[in-house]
Structure 1
Amino acid sequence: MPRPRILCISLSPIARDARVLRQLRVLREHGDVTTVGYGPLPDGATDHVSVPEQLKTLPQTPVGALKLALRRLRSAELDAPAVRYALAALDGRRFDLVVANDARALALAFAVSGDAPVWGDMHEWAPGQRDQYFVWRHMVAPLMDHMCRTYLPRCAAVTTVAESLVAEYDKVYGTTAGLVRNARPWEDLEPSPMLDGGRIRLAHSGGAEPNRNLRMLMEASLELEHTSLDLYLVPAGDGGAYLRELEELAATSERLTIHPPVAPSELPSALNAYDVGVFSLPPDNFNMANCLPNKLFDFLQARLAFAVSPSPEMARFVTANDLGVVSTDYSKESFVAALRELTPERVATAKQAAHDHARTLSDETDVATSHALVRRLLGS
């Protein structure tokens, strides 16, 4: 009996997209997977439609922009250059299941699905991904809302990454969304011992983007004489300009170190040498205000204590599991005050709590949820 044919669409560099790679590890156990996205064939796929890097995922053409301005949203659904390329590449192909990652892939998924069920995996709140920007609010958000309103009720399954987003999708679009977090696999690690002398080693990993409050984290760590901060940073889309600014700041103190990024699979081992994972994200849009990011699960599997800003999902994650401290607001002063609460004894206790919860907060629940969903959609 032939294996089911599964199409997984993610208009992202899939080989570097941790969530989609975890998704592929599930899908490949149920069938032969064709992926659509940027970059090379990712692990877990048997075939790949590689979208040329220069093709945009939104209708960023003169005609497309005019359609968005005139609210001709249905006409604009398939106008993004990346979508048009994928639609032509998939012409005539048939699948037994189609997975659409993010709202901008929904119209394409239904255009090629035929009679196959569609699973819409909404990584974020689609209309609010960049709603701090005027152009997004007035040009792009209406299209994202249209995509969700048109296609999510037709999906055979909808999932998203956090409880607050599950509730928002259900309330606004009438879905019955499931929860598949950004948790990562369990790592066989132990908490690293604290240093003699009371030095606390802070760590952060992620993109070197201005809205990630990285300068604030660096300045906050310098306020306390007993802390150091190591950052593993990926250059952002600004050509590395912001990263260079941070490197200039790091050069002013031996207690600040910026490292090259490491592969997602290697992050827990790299971070295990530290004591506290630090992260602060100002609530500039709905998603930033309600984030439960990948890096929290990286910190957890690395067996680190936590110091985070008071975003509701992050605060609940940290406090419910006794993982560390939450600042009262997003200012440097508040973050410094939170760091002051982290005595070596409290850090050691929080690191042990991370170790105690590493199995239950790994991706085992999410993987089981995804397998059950795929089995249901394939009718097996």
Structure 2
Amino acid sequence: MKKTILVIASAPLHNGPRMIREIEALKPFYNIVAIGATPPPDASIKYYAVKTIDKPFPDKVFTKVYQIFTGKRYLLPLWLTKRRFQKLLYLIKPDFVIAHDPTHLPYLVDFPKTLFKLIYNAHEYHPLEFDENTKWLNFWGKYYYQLYKNTLPKVNLLINVCESIAIKCKEEFNKSSIVIPNAAVYYPDLNPVLNNYASLIRLIHHGIANKTRKIELMIDAVKMLGNSFHLDLMLVPVDPLYYEELQVYSRNLSNIRFIKPVAYNQIVPFINTYDIGLYNLPPVSFNNRIALPNKFYEFIQARLCLVVSPSVEMKKIVEEHDLGLVSDDYTAESLVETIKRLDLTAINRYKQNVHKAAYCLSAQQYQNRLVDALKEI
């Protein structure tokens, strides 16, 4: 009989790449139950809305009052919320619980250790998520640091997205972890689209419109490169004002285009026809400095030549596998100088290198690591 895994997230599951890949990797071996803001794509997975474990109104009031009088975020489990967790978990009776939201950890570590094994799948390093903002760091940063300090020692398995965060958790909390990056699933039928004749080099950047990412720097770079280069921005307008600012900023540029986002499972095939996957991420925070995002691996599965800023983790992989070029710094001028080093011959060569590395840098390479780790705990 298969054991049961409960996956708990606050985010939507229908388009959450990390949760989707996790469920796909585990469902051949386990019964999966999922909690999230939306159901997972696989309709056969038993699903509960995250509101079933959300704080009820009295707990929200208590948290707010506590915060007003102490200037701190309440760290301990709240009684009524705890009851919601208890009711659901005693109903599901999971053998393993995989948490994706650190704020759920205080409730989950409070259960008897014999009830289930607890895994925390961290999407980033939360104590420094927005460390460029002093106000955030002094309030939320301290809260997440103490939360990690209280709960990580009680977690059976910690999963991190990159080596830099794994090292940080070991240094700060003496907690070892396994690394499972945000690698995209392998696309065996995709091949690099080689550009041998076209006079136009097409670049793509996709993701969310987030002001801290300073997407305008990529716009500036392509503006300076001129009309032989064309950048498509496929952005989800999570910050509508910033999205509109970007549109206004580039409205007179004929080589910049905003295109409608495609469904998550269509991203890789859709961008396959482009020449360059472009990502410049200014190091305004710890997580930005060591970022290894979904789009990086989606560029790889799409068999694109990569041009990225010198973020530690991306730089390491690009250079190790010769997948493209890394700019010297994070400025638009550095991006221009980097892209100018590419001609069609070089782009095609990098695309072929990416094609060779696509399987070893795919999610399939890490699925066994997760399955094996669960067996060992």
Q: Give the TM-score normalised by structure 2.
A: 0.90
> What residue ranges of structure 2 are gaps of 5+ in the alignment?
none
Asked whether 1:278 is paired with 2:278, we answer yes
Q: Matched residues in 1 for 2:79 and 2:257: separation?
A: 40
User: Is contact 2:125-2:165 (8 Å) kept?
Assistant: yes
Partner of 2:306 in structure 1? 306
- Give 3-state SS (helix, strand or coil) of 2:337's partner: helix
Inter-CA distance 108–34: structure 2 relative to 1 (3 Å threshold)? farther
The one-character-per-residue Cα deviations of 1:338-370 (angstroms, maximum 9, x if unpaired) are 111122221111111111101111112210101
Partner of 2:120 in structure 1? 120
Partner of 1:208 in structure 2? 209
Q: Structure 1 residue 129: deviation in Å?
A: 1.1
Inter-CA distance 351–114: structure 2 relative to 1 (3 Å threshold)? same
Alignment of 1:318-337 (within 5 A): 318-337=318-337
Q: How many residues align?
A: 370
Partner of 2:293 in structure 1? 293
Inter-CA distance 76–153: structure 2 relative to 1 (3 Å threshold)? closer
Structure 1 segments of 4+ aligned residues over 3 angstroms from their partners: 59-63, 65-73, 77-81, 83-86, 111-114
Q: Structure 1 residue 203: deviation in Å?
A: 0.5
| More deviation, 165-174/85-94 | 85-94
Partner of 2:342 in structure 1? 342
Q: Matched residues in 2 for 1:133 and 1:332: separation?
A: 23
- Give 3-state SS (helix, strand or coil) of 2:252's partner: coil
Q: Matched residues in 1 for 2:63 and 2:44: separation?
A: 32
Partner of 2:88 in structure 1? 90
- Percent identical pairs in the alignment equals 27
The one-character-per-residue Cα deviations of 1:72-127 (angstroms, maximum 9, x if unpaired) are 76x5343599x669526616332211111142221232245652111111111120
* Residue in structure 1 matching 2:237, options 235, 238, 248: 235
Alignment of 1:101-112 (within 5 A): 101-112=100-111
- Give 3-state SS (helix, strand or coil) of 1:90's partner: helix
- Give, as a single letter, the amino acid of the residue that structure 1 aligns with 2:274: Y
Partner of 2:197 in structure 1? 196
Inter-CA distance 329–112: structure 2 relative to 1 (3 Å threshold)? same
Q: Structure 1 residue 63: deviation in Å?
A: 3.5
Q: Matched residues in 2 for 1:340 and 1:62: separation?
A: 57
Q: Structure 1 residue 135: deviation in Å?
A: 3.4
- Give, as a single letter, the amino acid of the residue that structure 1 aligns with 2:39: P
Q: Matched residues in 2 for 1:185 and 1:273: separation?
A: 18
Q: Matched residues in 2 for 1:311 and 1:279: separation?
A: 10
Q: Matched residues in 1 for 2:297 and 2:105: separation?
A: 28
Asked whether 1:16 is paired with 2:18, we answer no
User: Is contact 2:318-2:325 (8 Å) kept?
Assistant: yes
Partner of 2:75 in structure 1? 76
> What residue ranges of structure 1 are gaps of 5+ in the alignment?
none
- Give 3-state SS (helix, strand or coil) of 2:303's partner: coil
- Give 3-state SS (helix, strand or coil) of 1:92's partner: helix
The one-character-per-residue Cα deviations of 1:173-204 (angstroms, maximum 9, x if unpaired) are 11121111111111121111215243211101
Q: Matched residues in 2 for 1:163 and 1:31: separation?
A: 28
Q: Structure 1 residue 31: deviation in Å?
A: 2.2
Q: Matched residues in 2 for 1:283 and 1:86: separation?
A: 40
Inter-CA distance 173–102: structure 2 relative to 1 (3 Å threshold)? farther
- Give, as a single letter, the amino acid of the residue that structure 2 aligns with 1:214: I
- Give 3-state SS (helix, strand or coil) of 1:98's partner: strand
User: Is contact 2:33-2:45 (8 Å) kept?
Assistant: yes
Q: Matched residues in 2 for 1:99 and 1:306: separation?
A: 33
Inter-CA distance 348–91: structure 2 relative to 1 (3 Å threshold)? closer
Partner of 2:26 in structure 1? 27
* Cα root mean square deviation, aligned: 2.6
- Give, as a single letter, the amino acid of the residue that structure 2 aligns with 1:302: A
User: Is contact 1:25-1:44 (8 Å) kept?
Assistant: no
Partner of 1:49 in structure 2? 48
Inter-CA distance 84–36: structure 2 relative to 1 (3 Å threshold)? farther
- Give 3-state SS (helix, strand or coil) of 2:222's partner: helix
The one-character-per-residue Cα deviations of 1:2-46 (angstroms, maximum 9, x if unpaired) are x32221111111211100111111232232222222123552763
Q: Matched residues in 1 for 2:20 and 2:55: separation?
A: 22
The one-character-per-residue Cα deviations of 1:27-74 (angstroms, maximum 9, x if unpaired) are 322322222221235527632221249x689x995532454573776x
Alignment of 1:361-372 (within 5 A): 361-372=361-372
Inter-CA distance 60–253: structure 2 relative to 1 (3 Å threshold)? farther
Q: Matched residues in 2 for 1:322 and 1:175: separation?
A: 33
Q: Matched residues in 1 for 2:257 and 2:180: separation?
A: 34
Partner of 1:174 in structure 2? 174
Partner of 2:184 in structure 1? 184
Q: Structure 1 residue 318: deviation in Å?
A: 1.1
The one-character-per-residue Cα deviations of 1:265-300 (angstroms, maximum 9, x if unpaired) are 111111111000001111111111111111110000
